[in-house]
Structures are given as structure tokens and as C-alpha cells.
Amino acid sequence: MILPQAPIYIDGQPVITTYYLQNGYLMVPALFFKYTGVFVDWNVENQSVVLKRNNMILTLPSGKKYADYYVKDMWQRDLLPTITTNFPDGTYIPLQYVSEKLGMTVSYHFKQSRTYIVTNTPPSSIPRIYYNGDPSKKRVALTFDDGPDNFYTPQILDILNDNGVTATFFVVGKQVKLFPQVLKRILQEGHEIGNHSWSHPELPKLTTTQVIQEVQKAELEIDSITGRKTVLFRPPFGLFTNADLRTIDDLGHQIIMWSVDTLDWQGISEEEILSIVKRDVSPGAIILQHALLTAPRILDGTVKALPGIIDYLRKRGYTFVTVHTLIEGD
């Protein structure tokens, strides 16, 4: 059965989710709560969803009924909502009950037919997300995701080396394991390494424990080869929830996004990539490119455009730095 979708507004921001109504209760996927900043896991031994927020822990054993805890005087116990067992994608839990148990406020706007959640999260407690550096300084960071590989990454390194440019490579653990010598070369030639997960999954679809495993497994692989730990993390596909942001921050990493997306992964031409950079670049920019052979000739445009990007930006007074230097303002 295909479930309907609708936006639920979390602190004013819409999050599209599937849902269904069970006896008048709005049921949403357990993982939806990651968008509110709640850590979500699945206890295999007890067959239960475990939700954590601040010092609060809520455990929902599968198949149990929960609305009787929420509506004290409800007598029709056969009509109360239950959760299903196919975690994570098929597990739905009652929105209002869970939200309020974890200290959040839920309201429904009848005229707009919208559901709102206010998380009551202090803004000062939300880790920073970096999209760019200091806009007052004409500096730019080139970044390359998804590698290393033994085809495109060496070509990119050759061009950077020929032009005396340092860049930041957000590497995937599985690729690091396959091409350790290329990773060593990246470091030896003065470039920066960031963590891009172990297997490049969509983080919102993972439990909190799975997210931790993705980051830590990649980190261990990188450290075993380079003897160094990373402090930067770029979420695969640029996708993450508020819970993922907190998890990654707890692991000692800063989330790095971008301000210029070259769309090179689409296999576009050198001219198209350069045109995007010229259109979107500004002081403090973080430029997103890729360094992994996923299909024949897919990143030929990346390699061909790179010398032109370097030349164009240098002529306009830009200095090339690593992401860490860009965001720290050194």
C-alpha cells in the first residue's frame, strides 16, 4: 500500500513525510523524529523503538498500544494506536504522544490543514553548519567528494599540483580501503581530508547508531592509513536531519556543505561547469566537485574544467585554501 505524504512543520520548516491515521491518531515513521533532533534507534533484543532527547528516553515496544498513556480516560482500548515492527521504514508511531512525551509542542491549524511541532530547542544549542567562509576575504575552497579512486582522483591531483593549489577531499571509507595509496598521495601533496561516511548512504534513513557507525568506520580506515583523524564531515547527498547534525557534532566533526554546486556528477561539460562557477562564486565560496569514476567519462568535464576554474579565479584575485582554513579564518 502506498501511503499519502504531507508536510509537517518543525520549528517552522516543512518536512515531507508519509503518514496514516489510526483511530484518529496521526502515525508517522519513527525516523521522522530525527528531524526534530531526537535520536532514534531500534532495540533488536526487545523489539522496540528507542527515542532519546536531552535526558529523556522513550521506549515503544512494537505491537503495544500507547494512547492510553496519553489520553487517561480513553475507554475504547481496541481503538488505540500501535506501532508496527518493520524498522526502520515500516515502523510508525503516534506523533502527538511521542512529541509531548519528549518535551515538544504539537498543534494543528485547521484552516491550513497543517500540523506544527515546536521543539523548544534553544538556538544556541544547535551546532553550526558551514556553507561558506568569511565573505569579506577573497578566498575559495575547492572540494572533491566520493573518492578516492585510481582514475579521476590522480588526474585532479596532477592538475592541482601543477597549479600549486590545495583542496579538500571528502573521502568515502570503502574507497579509502580500495585505494589507500591515493589517499596517502592526497595528504602528501598538502591537501586536506574530510570524512564522507563509510558507504555513502542517505543519513536520514539510518538510525542514530547506524550514523555513528558510518562516521566511525570511515574514520578508523582513514586513521589506519594516514595516522590522522579528520574534523570535517560532509553528509552524502547533502542530506541530514537535526539529530544527525547533533550526532556528528558529538563525534567531533563539523558539517561542511557548499555554496557552489558544479553539478559535475551529472556528466555535464567543461563549459557548463565553468559557467556555473562564474555565475555562483563569491568570496568565501566552497565549491563542490567529485572525484570518483561511477560511469564512463562521467567526470571528464570536471577534469577539463579544473584548470579553467583555477585560472579564472586567480585572475579575479582569489586565493585557494583548504576548508579548515576557510572557515577558521586563519
C-beta of residue 149 within 8 angstroms of C-beta of residue 174: no
C-alpha cell at 117: 511541532
Nearest to 199 by CA among 235, 149, 251, 154: 235
Which H or E run contains 96?
A: helix 95-101
- Please identify every residue annotated as catalytic: 145, 290
Nearest-angstrom CA–CA distance, 248 and 134 = 23
C-alpha cell at 39: 535520536
Three-state SS annotation for 281-296: CCCCEEEEEECCCCCC
| Amino acid, single-letter form, for residue 163 | N
Alpha-carbon distances, residue 37 vs 11, 33, 101, 126, 323 (angstroms): 11, 7, 14, 9, 26
Nearest-angstrom CA–CA distance, 83 and 258 = 38
User: Would residue 262 be called left, alpha or beta, if left means φ above 0 and alpha means ψ between -120 and 50 degrees?
Assistant: alpha
The contacts of residue 279 (CB under 8 Å, 6+ apart) are none
DSSP string, 239-294: ---HHHHHHHHHTT-EEE--SEE--GGGT--HHHHHHHHHHH--TTEEEEEE---S
